[in-house]
Amino acid sequence: MFPSESPYRIDQVMSSPWLMTLLFFSQVLFATCINWLAVRQKMSWWWLAVGFFCLVTTAFFALSSWGTSDVTKLNHYIDQFVVYLPREPFWWILAPFIKVLPYRMAAIHGLVATFFAVLAIFLSRCWRLPGWGGWWALLLLTSPFLRGFLQNAHTRQAWAVLLAVPLFLRASGFVEIRILPVLSSAVLALFSHLTAFPMLVLASMPASWQGIGSLARLPRLVKIGVFGLLVVVLTIFAQPIWLKLLDYTSQMNFFSSYSIQRPVLVSEVLLLVAVVLSCQRRKISWSVLKHCQASRTLLLYMLMFIIVQCGVRFEIYPQIVFRFADPIGLFLLLSVLRWFQLYSSNQMLLPLLLFSLMIWGKQLVDPVGLNCGFDDDFLCIPDRWPWQIVYY
């Protein structure tokens, strides 16, 4: 019988350090090619290198996520998505397509991880730094801030937060995006995961103060109308969230401590040191930072991430708080990319990137703690071809 509790993976898995190491170092190689070709302005070849980088990324994360609980569970329940995901119709519609993909939800996770890489490469093009696209992509893909999304295969939430990114980019002023694509993406997010509504609120926070100031200048009747509209939206979309929160509040049987583990803490220190050194090098004063939108956004999400860490460390509703670590971590990393790009200090991010790459390289070459077949570990790959897989 299929297990009723995690870990769900029971067979059809193996470890293959040489294969995963090869795929990972291929990503590093193509990131190097992206940088080299951009410097020499060979943009046709640059696009080719980006394409190969994305292909390797998809393969790496699709194979690596095969042994995780969420992928296994969703592969098992794929014919019953309407029952198990009643408020996520996006996945009902996608289910027939998922069933024909090799390794099913593992392939979807590989694609979602690739979208993280594409996001970083897209931003490098928008900010006229195409050579950094590959390195920024690796910074996101290997960051311990995003462990839940990428290594624990929280695919559905990761996809919903990606759909909230256009709103974040517009709210923070990082990229000019038209309102229609932003709203379309936000609506799709609401039908992709139950947590999408609070994630959209988090994404819009950089513009909150400006919005409050503008609202205060509106006529009284308009204010009442806006308030009424917000109440209706909260009633429609937030009700299932409150019910889920009440459910989480009443039970404390699971929460993740990834956000307070050593790799995250070291990354925070490296990030802080990089910011301080950049300010000294560029002679950026506090008064300049105070009036800089990118600096305020970076500080906002750093403080929110620290609040999440405190909630987990001191167990203040950790079963709820820890679920915000990855979304806030993503917005924090995007703010980091923008801040260092704005002050022409991208090279100061290299220690942070090298630290993440070293952690991944060590785990790939010499895997520690992998228990393929008996636990739901990342890097446990399929032990047979897609057409030989038996779905319970």
- pLDDT 10s per residue in the chain (392 long)? 566 666 677 688 999 999 999 999 999 999 999 999 999 999 999 999 999 999 999 999 999 999 998 999 999 889 889 888 888 999 999 999 999 999 999 999 999 999 999 999 999 999 999 999 999 999 999 999 999 999 998 999 999 999 999 999 999 999 999 999 999 999 999 999 988 888 998 999 998 655 544 445 556 655 566 556 655 655 555 556 655 555 555 565 667 888 999 999 999 999 999 999 999 998 888 888 888 999 999 999 999 999 999 999 988 888 888 889 999 999 999 999 999 999 999 999 999 999 999 999 999 988 887 888 888 889 999 999 999 998 86
Report the chain's terminal Cα–Cα distance, integer Å: 8
80-119 tens-digit pLDDT: 898 888 889 999 999 999 999 999 999 999 999 999 999 9
- Tell whether 160 is covered by a domain: yes
Q: What is the span of the domain harbouring residue 127? A: 13-226+233-241+350-388
Residue whose entry in the numeric block shows the structure tokens 């490469």: 121
pTM of this prediction?
0.91
3-state secondary structure of 252: coil
Domain assignment present for 260: no
d(CA 321, CA 183): 27
Alpha carbon of 51 to those of 88, 109, 121, 377: distances in Å?
31, 18, 11, 28
Indicate whether 332 belongs to any domain.
Answer: no
Over the range 365-389, which residues count as b (16 or more CB within 10 Å of their CB) and which as e? eebeebebbebbbbbbbbbeeeeeb
Per the DSSP assignment, residues forming a β-bridge with 15 are: 380
304 within some domain:
no
Burial class (CB in 10 A: 0-12, 13-18, 19+), 113: buried
Structure-token pair, residue 119 = 């996001």
Asked if residue 143 belongs to a domain, the reply is yes
Q: Does 4 fall in a domain?
A: no
* Tokens of residue 127, six digits: 């900010």
Identify whether 336 is part of a domain.
no
**Cβ–Cβ contacts within 10 Å for residue 352, how many?**
23
User: What is the separation of C-alpha 104 from the centre of its chain, rounded to a whole number of angstroms?
Assistant: 20
| pLDDT of amino acid 215 | 46
CA distance 65 to 73: 12
Total count of domains within the chain:
1
Quote the CA–CA distance of 247 and 254 in Å, as a whole number.
12
Specify whether the CB–CB gap between 258 and 144 falls below 8 A. yes
163 in any annotated domain: yes
Angle at 64 between CA 69 and CA 338, to 5 degrees: 100
Cis peptide before 7 (omega within 30 of 0): yes
Q: In the prediction, which pLDDT does 229 show?
A: 61
Which tokens hold the place of 180?
């229609």
**To 10 degrees, the CA torsion angle through 228, 233, 234, 238?**
170
The stretches of 314-391 forming alpha helices (DSSP H) are 318-321, 325-342, 350-365
Q: What is the pLDDT of residue 246?
A: 58
